[in-house]
A = this chain, B = another copy of it.
């Protein structure tokens, strides 16, 4: 079927996106074809635009369309705090929480002996430099509660010890979380960090 070659190629590429498989890629492409003027063409244009302009902030690793991102250039956010996250998705999650008013540092992963990821691959040297350059007083390590995440947090804490206040996110029961659905480790952590009235 020569004339449907582009459609098949599009399904193949879409199926490689995280969260999509062949079946959902086929459904997404059919949906786009049905709405080709109102949805597919604008999506293609927007995607081409972002492909041309998106870049990683040279300072913190956030994504944006400028060499230094909006958070790094905002004077309002120069409050002496840096929140260290693994991934831009984690930065976005923090921003949705509307609770943190400082700046970020996106590592781009975690230390991993197995995958040969060392500090140089993770913007850790840049983090150390920023602590002096930006007069940082507190570094909040918001890394995932995985073995690699915690190894990375400890490594960074060792590097910065004595220079800044170090903290990490509290562990506990999510707001609205039902105990029955939580894993044992979360329940144990919440119990250990219990507060008296």
Contact = CB atoms under 8 A, between A and B. Distances in A.
Given A13-B42, A44-B47, A46-B10, A26 B89 contact: yes
Copy tally for this chain in the complex stands at: 2
Contact of A70 (B4, B18, B89): B4
A167 interface: no
Main secondary structure of the interface of A (DSSP, over half): helix
B46 A48 contact: no
A92 B7 CA distance: 12
A165 interface: no
Interface residues of A, number: 53
A4 B42 contact: no
A27 B92 CA distance: 11
Given A1-B70, A36-B51, A19 B10 contact: no
Given A17-B31, A48-B48, 6 more contacts: A4-B63, A6-B53, A6-B65, A20-B24, A41-B48, A44-B45
